Amino acid sequence: MHFDLYNKQRSLTMPRLALIPVLVAAALLTACSKGDKEAKASQAAASVNGQEVTVHQINLVLERQPGLKPEQVDAASRQVLEGLIDQEIAVQKAEEEKMDRDPKIVQLLDAQRRNILARAYLEKTSTAAIGSPTPDEVKKYFDAKPGLFSQRRIYMLQEFTVQGTAEETKALQAKLESAPDVPAFAQALKDSGLKFGVNQVTQPAESLPLNLIDRIAALKDGQALYEQGNGGMKAVLVVASRPQPLTFDQSKPLIERFLTETKRQEWLQKRVKELRAEAKVDYIGKFAEKPASGASGASAPAAATPAPAATPAPAASPASGLDADALSKGLSGLK
């Protein structure tokens, strides 16, 4: 079990350089589907040394930014355009230096092309195969995950990493479990004399690791989860929480997207196995040798399969009603 609770959320406003991987894919796809010059000119958004950047290129990038709200489209379009302009300038310089003829770069471009084609095939076929979740499936998931929906809470959490022997940390855990409130928890931790570090965060239930949602939902304020390990212990303390439930109608589109993506991943794994069974694959040279004991068999490249969604993700409301300062103070004097 891992308590990975504190990775910062990525901003919707990405730096232009962060768009480069998406822009590379967009450029490759655009290169495969250029229309005649007149059609392209009618969709021009900018010109860089006579080479036009089109609205189609912008839209292609925007399609790969899920969750974009209608009111954000105009600003996002301008941001993407600036990124495409930067890209076009760099591409022109690279072509001037004949970098597009460099064998390594040619290989990278071909790898990108193959990856895009593989993903396109799998996405297209999976969309046609899986269909939509049934109303019963959606309702069943809603009822099975009260911590995500009907009993959803916004949590103020602190994660402690405590150093010590197994005997020391088990004795400490017993004391922490009997602590009646947060101040008593803090005092027991300080009195132990063990070294520890602390991280803190405020986040909604859907931002928790999926395997911890139900366990943390069962905790009251002042209670914690514990994990004993080699050389120490981890504890996740619910400092405070506030109910912020979602109705079934609010949850329905989130659950539908999540179940659709889950079905897609299951179908993709099955389909890739079927394709491998149908294909004639011959291993050559050293790869023809039997793999060492314990080595797993080859499988389709991970990059060719769309990444799954971890859990439905309602946006955290900034007006959650939690005191932002309360978490920063947390267990006072612990750091």
* Paired tokens of 305: 């399969």
Angle of helix 248-278 relative to helix 103-130, nearest 10 degrees, comes to 120
* Paired tokens of 223: 């209670």
CA dihedral for 152, 5, 228, 335, sign (positive or negative)? negative
Q: Which of 27, 40, 22, 131 is nearest to 79 (CA)?
A: 22
Dump the DSSP string for 119-139. Answer: HHHHHHHHHHHH----HHHHH
- Kindly provide the residue ranges of all beta strands, DSSP E only, lying in the chain, ordered along the sequence: 44-48, 51-54, 153-163, 196-204, 224-229, 232-243
User: Average pLDDT, whole number, for the chain?
Assistant: 81
pLDDT band at 294 (very low <50, low <70, confident <90, very high): low
* Paired tokens of 158: 């602190």
> Is 229's pLDDT higher than 80?
yes
Average pLDDT, integer, range 194-223: 92
> Is 317's pLDDT higher than 50?
no
Please give the DSSP secondary-structure letter assigned to residue 76. Answer: H
- Residue 69: what pLDDT? 86
- Residue 264: what pLDDT? 93
Dump the DSSP string for 163-213. Answer: E--HHHHHHHHHHHHT--SHHHHHHHHHHT---EEEEEEEEEGGGS-GGGH
Average pLDDT, integer, range 279-289: 91
Q: Does residue 251 contact residue 312 with C-beta atoms inside 8 Å?
A: yes
- Residue 316: what pLDDT? 41
Average pLDDT, integer, range 304-319: 44
- Residue 293: what pLDDT? 60
